Amino acid sequence: MREKLALYLDLIRWNRPAGWLLLLWPTLAALWVAAGGFPGWHLLGVFTLGTILMRSAGCCLNDVADRNFDRHVKRTAERPVTSGRISVKEALGFGALLALLAFGLVLSLRAETLAWSFAALAVALAYPYAKRYLAMPQAVLGVAFSFGIPMAFAAVTGEVPWQAWALLLGNLFWVLAYDTEYAMVDRDDDLKIGMKTSAITLGEWDVPAIMIFYTLFIVIWGVVLEALQEPLLGAGLAAAALQAAWHFLLIKDRNREGCFQAFRLNHWVGFAVFVGVVLHYL
């Protein structure tokens, strides 16, 4: 029982919280913006727990979809499904249970949020298979990882204004930045097995493109939130920009360790922006 529990925790990357933090910070920032301040404990709890559950469910689906590819990649060869320690049926069943728990949380919100949750689920289901057909599958992941933003606005106000979609677009560029860093780690293996990633598509333009993606993320959020007129918001975005500059130093030589470190540290970029938003609305 203890060994099985450890396998399920490994399946959902429980010991690597950076993954769900990347989803959580922009979602919570959107909640604060939509509410004009603290959104209340109910919304905070639902979106925090829902984010963790859906990211965990996504890991289950992703590992099942990629099990025949992951065995050829050094970093992923020992994942529970790939190595056969958890069966496909078990992984899908566990992922479905987690998704149902998240759906139960959404039922406590406005009907508009419930409607948008189906669109979010569709994009999340599509992502694992986008890597087989799209040159930039990270764009699909960007939409999936950003859908908490319109859902947050819908939960607070019952509608999704243009600002929400603009913030989603900005966040999509951030996902493109950090997931391209992630793809650079496995580029050699992905080339051998025929996987499509932004790191492969961009080639020698990968590092410049990542820095452009970071810039677009910060500029779009800054314009939408009017950060030039709001010093605390501006400080949060400036802190994010400084981290992005540091990531350039980590990835410029394209070595696996530096790229993976840059990816793992990206949740602090989102945290800086979130803190700026919270301080602004205090």
Q: Can you tell me the distance from the alpha carbon of 265 to that of 95, in angstroms, rounded to the nearest whole number? A: 26
Residue 32 has pLDDT above 90, yes or no: yes
Average pLDDT value for the chain: 91
Say how many CA atoms lie within 13 Å of 44 toward its Cβ. Answer: 9
Residue 75 has pLDDT above 80, yes or no: no
Domains of the chain: 2-281 (1.10.357.140)
Taking the model in full, what pTM does it have? 0.93
Residue 63 has pLDDT above 80, yes or no: yes
Query: Binning pLDDT at 50, 70 and 90, where does residue 25 land?
Result: very high
Give 142-186 pLDDT, tens digit per residue. Answer: 999 899 999 999 999 999 999 999 999 999 999 999 999 999 998
Return the top range by mean pLDDT from 12-16, 189-193, 197-201: 197-201
- Report the pLDDT averaged over residues 28-39: 96
Which residues fall within 8 angstroms of residue 143, CB to CB, at 6 or more apart? 123, 168, 172
Quick one: pLDDT at residue 67?
Answer: 83
Collapsing DSSP to helix, strand or coil, 9 comes out as: helix
Q: Would you list the DSSP string of 199-240?
A: HHHHGGGHHHHHHHHHHHHHHHHHHHTTGGG-HHHHHHHHHH
Quick one: pLDDT at residue 81?
Answer: 85
Residue 1 has pLDDT above 90, yes or no: no
